[in-house]
Amino acid sequence: MRFGVVRFPGTCDDVDALEACARVGDAEILWHGDRDLKGVDAVVVPGGFSYGDYLRVGAIARFSPVMESVVGFARGGGPVLGICNGFQVLCEAGLLPGALLPNVGLRFICRQVGVVVERTDTAWTSACDPGQILSIPVKHTTGRYFVPDAGALEDAGQVVLRYQSHGNPNGSSNDIAGVCNEGRNVVGLMPHPEHAVDVLLGSADGLRLFESAARVGVPA
Amino acid sequence: MRARVLVRPKAGILDPQGIAVERALPALGFEGVQNVHVGRLIELDVEDPGQLDDMCRKLLVNPLIEDYEVVDAG
């Protein structure tokens, strides 16, 4: 199992994502200016401030050469995970529904949160138990998930992760912390599983997401 | 053409920046201010103004969360 971790100018969580992937498989960096995905089996779009967050978060990164290839890979069923800024990029790219808005409190938030696993039938949560609560940190300013019809998203079973009751840090609709596409191979979330892969970091719960993708293995 | 694109948070979507400004003004003695919204202003010279709507929809604006208006800035 080989993971590719995308690096844009301004990405800052790529090394942690690489380390997290390396715990369950092989991992390498995919440079934003390259169209070649190097034959990886799964792609992680990590957090940071791609292209300085200019215009809107994720708006410019979406048009980078590597994203053209990532969109094609995702449309072909390849597992893609977007974390924080990566989630914002995948929404802007149209791979995931919705958009991320400034936190209700307008402040940068950095803290450990409890996240409930609502769906285990996605490429990135299959190694979790249904209803399992993962302890994972969030760190963002623009993390308020918004989708025009949250009810339809719920009905379609595309709400994958939800902040624990009364634990919504940013004002997201329906306490949504992570969603998937209709094909369930693309998942995006605001919390950072790559920062929670060892008990020394306070929690190893984030590892479950990477284990899930490794379990799916090489796509047919 | 010198174009001015005014980008606003879509009506009905919570605009915490607008709320923060609305609350700050009375603290400075400015009373009677309501419905404050904070958006974005983009100015650009374009050879073909007919492309502006397409530019807005594809890059300058996220139509899911923002409304826009194109103004001829002369």
What phi and psi values does residue A26 have, to the nearest 5 degrees?
-95, 155
Q: DSSP label at A112?
A: E
Q: Please, which residues bridge with residue A13 across strands?
A: none
Compare all CA atoms of chain A with the CA of B13 and give the residue at the minimum distance.
A146
Catalytic residue among A32, A140, A192, A195: A192
Pairwise CB contact (< 8 Å): A106 & B13? no
Give residue limits of the domains in chain A: 2-216
**At a CB cut-off of 8 Å and minimum separation 6, what does A15 contact?**
none
Q: Which of A32, A194, A195, A211 is catalytic?
A: A194
Token output for A128: 């979790």
What span, in angstroms and rounded, lies between the C-alpha atoms of B36 and A189?
31
Residue of chain B whose Cα is closest to the Cα of A105 = B16
Q: How confident is residue A220, by pLDDT bands cut at 50, 70 and 90?
A: very low
* pTM score: 0.94
- CB < 8 Å to A99, chain B: 62, 64-65
Percentage of the residues of chain B whose pLDDT score is greater than 70: 100
Structural domain for B36, as ranges: 2-72
* Distance of alpha carbon A93 from alpha carbon A2, whole angstroms: 23
Query: What pLDDT is recorded for position A217?
Result: 58
Q: Are A92 and B62 in contact (CB < 8 Å)?
A: yes
CATH top-level class of A2-216 = alpha beta
Measured between beta carbons, the chain A residues lying within 8 angstroms of B13 are 101, 146
Task: Check if B59 contacts A (Cβ < 8 Å).
Answer: yes
Q: What is the DSSP letter of A210?
A: H
Q: How many structural domains is chain B composed of?
A: 1
Task: Please name the member of A99, A104, A171 whose beta carbon is closest to the beta carbon of B65.
Answer: A99
What part of A 73-112 touches B (C-beta under 8 Å)? 92, 98-99, 101-106
| Strands annotated E in chain B | 2-9, 40-45, 66-72
Residue type, A220: A
Residues B15-25 have pLDDT tens digits of 999 999 999 99
Q: Are A144 and A106 in contact (CB under 8 A)?
A: no
Q: Is residue A32 annotated as a catalytic residue, yes or no?
A: no
**What number is the average pLDDT over the span A186-192?**
98
Number of H helices, E strands in chain A: 5, 11
The band of A216, judged by pLDDT with boundaries at 50, 70 and 90, is: confident
Known catalytic residue: A192?
A: yes
Taking the CA atoms of A147, A153, A154 and A157 in sequence, report the sign of the dihedral they define: negative
pLDDT, tens digit (0-9, with 9 covering 90-100), for A29-61: 999 999 999 999 999 999 999 999 999 999 999
Q: What is the pLDDT of residues B36-62, one digit of tens each?
A: 999 999 999 999 999 999 999 999 999
Give me the amino acid identity at A158.
Answer: Q
Does the pLDDT value for residue A174 go beyond 50? yes
ipTM entry = 0.86
Catalytic residue from among A84, A91, A128, A180: A84
Q: Give the angle B21-B25-B27 at the CA atoms, nearest 5°.
A: 120
Question: What is the enclosing helix (H) or strand (E) of A14?
Answer: helix A14-22
Q: For an interface test with B, which of A53, A54, A55, A103 has the most B Cβ atoms less than 10 Å from its Cβ?
A: A55
What CATH number has the domain bearing residue B8? 3.30.1280.10
* Side-chain half-sphere exposure of A40, counting CA atoms within 13 A: 28
The pLDDT tens digits for A112-133 are: 999 999 999 999 999 999 999 9
Hey, is the C-beta of A10 within 8 angstroms of any chain B C-beta? no
Gap between the Cα atoms of B64 and A92, Å rounded:
10
User: Greatest CA separation found in chain A?
Assistant: 45
A153 and A147 Cβ atoms separated by less than 8 Å: yes
Partner-chain contact B16 A102, CB within 8 Å? yes
How far apart CA A143 and CA A194 sit, in angstroms, is 17
